Amino acid sequence: MTAKHDMKKLVEEIYAVRDRGDIEGTLALIGEDCTFRIVGNARLGPFSSEAGGPHAFRQAITQLITEWDLSAIRTVGIHVDEDDHVVFAHREGEVRYIPSGVTFHTEFVDKIHFKDGKPVKIVEFLDTLQVAETSQIIQIA
């Protein structure tokens, strides 16, 4: 199999495990050297700060999985840049913020950098205003 095929397959597996709410399974597929960041204004604080290192990464993934139900999200498309070892995944569907039960339709893109066959950096592009309002990080009158 090609590296391109392997990267795509691993991303699909990560999404399947994550969407089931399996924290340990997700972390096992990603590895502890990975970093995670949601692209957003620095004023959103930890919400848009890069989480790196085993403890911070575990904490970020645990919080995402326990607070955000993505079980109704589907992967629209995956593009693999084999030369740069980067995967772009476009996903969309209904998201539920578990603490309040609020649901909304959204789309987002993940940019996943690979090294030695494992994700080492995940950058997520999403509607930060929608997520910040839903999770009550900010309130807009």
Per-residue pLDDT of the chain (141 residues; tens, 9 = 90+): 578 999 999 999 999 999 999 999 999 999 778 999 999 887 777 777 888 887 888 888 999 999 999 999 999 999 999 999 999 999 999 999 999 999 999 999 999 999 999 999 999 999 998 988 998 887 776
User: Radius of gyration (Cα) for the chain, nearest Å?
Assistant: 15
Domain CATH number, residue 39: 3.10.450.50
For residue 139, is it within any domain?
A: no
Residues facing residue 118 across a β-bridge: 115
Q: Where are the beta strands (DSSP E) in the chain?
A: 35-38, 68-81, 86-97, 102-115, 118-125
Structural domain of 27:
3-134
For residue 141, is it within any domain?
A: no
Tell me how many domains the chain contains. 1
pTM of the model: 0.91
For residue 140, is it within any domain?
A: no
Is 99:10 a contact under the CB 8 Å cutoff?
no
52 backbone dihedrals φ, ψ, rounded to 5°: -135, 165
Instruction: Count Cβ atoms below 10 Å from residue 33 Cβ, excluding itself.
Output: 15
